Amino acid sequence: MKADDQILVYPYKYRFFFTLLLILFVGMTLWSFLFFQYRIDFDGKILVFPLVIGIPLTFVSYKLFRYLLYINRWRAILAAEGIVINDPWLGQLSFNWDTDVIVLGNFNLELVKGRYGPAANASDRTYDIYKISKWVMGQPAIVDSNLAFLGRKKFKKLKLSNEELAAAFESSQHEYAAFFKTNRWNLTFLAYCFFRVIAIMLIAYIFFLDIFYFNTGVVVFFFMAVTVQLVIVLQYWNRFPPGALKRLFLNVGISIIGFAYLMFDNVHSLDELFFVKWGAVLGLAMTIFIRVFIQLYRKSVAKHLKIIFYSILFIFLSLYSIAFLKVGNMLHLGKVEGWEQGTVYNPQTIILPGMDPHKMVFDNHKWGARNMLIPLVRSVSEARVEVKVFEGRLGIPWFYKNYATDDVDNIRLIK
């Protein structure tokens, strides 16, 4: 190692964050197993839930521990002629600026083994790509070292004038500068992860949890998350790399569809057509506004957008608007419209994720028959119940689809 060489590592804050995260997960794992043992020793009950939580947490804690060792042991030595990386999992990797290149990935710098210019045979060139973690400190120094070396190198085989070569270097510098500016603090990557997490959470919630737990808190959380997604993708889509942009659009599409379905399936309203009609109107208004804005201020992009793009945009904005109106109708501080009575039947013998075991036929024909989850009538095939109906802020009465066993405030048996 020379005196002017630089050592690159993961930042201390990053390592400290994962240390705290590991401590948290280990504590949660120990709590789940101790709670499980406590209930056996003192109550004589075997609860499955602590084990369902504890076993995956054990696996996650192990992965976090391995990753924490990795980021603490990872080192790179940056010299004027190249970089040597000591990767705990891959060993020592050497990249020389005379033969190897730097490529801009979606969110990472990528080091590629190979030579400049075309090769005689494709088999003569081997590309070993190494992605430098976006969290490693000093990545601009890697680019500066590479460009400084290339600036001193004589390119005998390139038929370029000094002016053309200087222009090529300047263009590369601008591309690297734009890359680091866009990915400053890794905000684009964190936003990309946020999109994926919310989409996965919505799918998992719809299939496994919404039948057991649903309230206004859940509604507000997913509403805010999907709204943030929509704002980011409409305002800052051009800051994401092309390789990640398609997956970004896919994730926000899944989130909008999932949120619209969540609101349709879990909130029964007296007039569903009201939300569909006005949701389509709002979706159309937003689509027209976006198209006019693009035509006026994004003329370079407007010529590439066809009518099918705006049609798809209208569909998704309409779905979001339908769910948005339902959320606005719900948030009325729990004001009660009254109670509706009906007969509950229990015809389902096999319940799959997303299905409802009970069917309630209301005495008031305006409400018709609705599929619901009512644990109060689990032991009988038929029962009379009454459900609390809430006032809607938009004037549309509504009630929940699913109820807990002890939810006596919103549903009760008629004896």
Whether 407 has a pLDDT exceeding 90, the answer reads: no
At 122 the pLDDT is 44
216 membership: H or E segment, kind and range: helix 216-235
> With contact defined as beta carbons under 8 Å apart, do 377 and 383 qualify?
yes
Whether 126 has a pLDDT exceeding 60, the answer reads: no
User: Across residues 27-32, what is the average pLDDT?
Assistant: 84
Whether 44 has a pLDDT exceeding 70, the answer reads: no
At 284 the pLDDT is 96
Torsion of CA 311, 317, 318, 319, to 10 degrees: 110
User: Across residues 64-85, what is the average pLDDT?
Assistant: 94
| pLDDT, tens digit (0-9, with 9 covering 90-100), for 196-220 | 999 999 998 888 777 777 888 889 9
Q: What is the DSSP letter of 402?
A: B
Kindly report the backbone phi and psi dihedral angles of residue 330, in degrees, each rounded to the nearest multiple of 5, phi listed first: -75, -40
With H, G, I as helix, E, B as strand and everything else as coil, classify residue 367: coil
- Residue 322 Cα to chain centre, angstroms: 22
Lowest mean pLDDT among 11-15, 53-57, 147-151, 154-158: 154-158
Query: What distance in Å separates the CA atoms of residue 23 and residue 65, rounded to the nearest whole number?
Result: 10
300 membership: H or E segment, kind and range: helix 299-302
Query: What distance in Å separates the CA atoms of residue 329 and residue 100, rounded to the nearest whole number?
Result: 60
User: Across residues 309-333, what is the average pLDDT?
Assistant: 92
How many Cα atoms within 13 Å fall on the side-chain side of residue 85?
22
User: Across residues 299-303, what is the average pLDDT?
Assistant: 80
| pLDDT, tens digit (0-9, with 9 covering 90-100), for 354-380 | 567 788 899 989 998 888 878 777 666
Whether 15 has a pLDDT exceeding 50, the answer reads: yes
> With contact defined as beta carbons under 8 Å apart, do 214 and 401 qualify?
yes
Kindly report the backbone phi and psi dihedral angles of residue 135, in degrees, each rounded to the nearest multiple of 5, phi listed first: -95, -5
- Please state the pTM of the whole predicted model: 0.82
Whether 390 has a pLDDT exceeding 60, the answer reads: yes
> With contact defined as beta carbons under 8 Å apart, do 226 and 198 qualify?
yes
Please tell me which residue, 352 or 99, carries the higher pLDDT value.
Answer: 99
- Tokens 């959380």, located at residue: 221
Instruction: Read off the tokens for 219.
Output: 């509604």
> With contact defined as beta carbons under 8 Å apart, do 328 and 394 qualify?
yes
CA neighbor of 374 nearest in space, from 244, 211, 263, 157:
211
| pLDDT, tens digit (0-9, with 9 covering 90-100), for 274-300 | 999 999 999 999 999 999 988 888 877
Whether 251 has a pLDDT exceeding 80, the answer reads: yes
> How close are the terminal C-alpha atoms of the chain, in Å?
85
Whether 392 has a pLDDT exceeding 70, the answer reads: yes
Burial 234-268 (b: 16+ CB within 10 A, else e): eeeeeebbeebbeebbebbbbbbbbbbbbbbbbbb
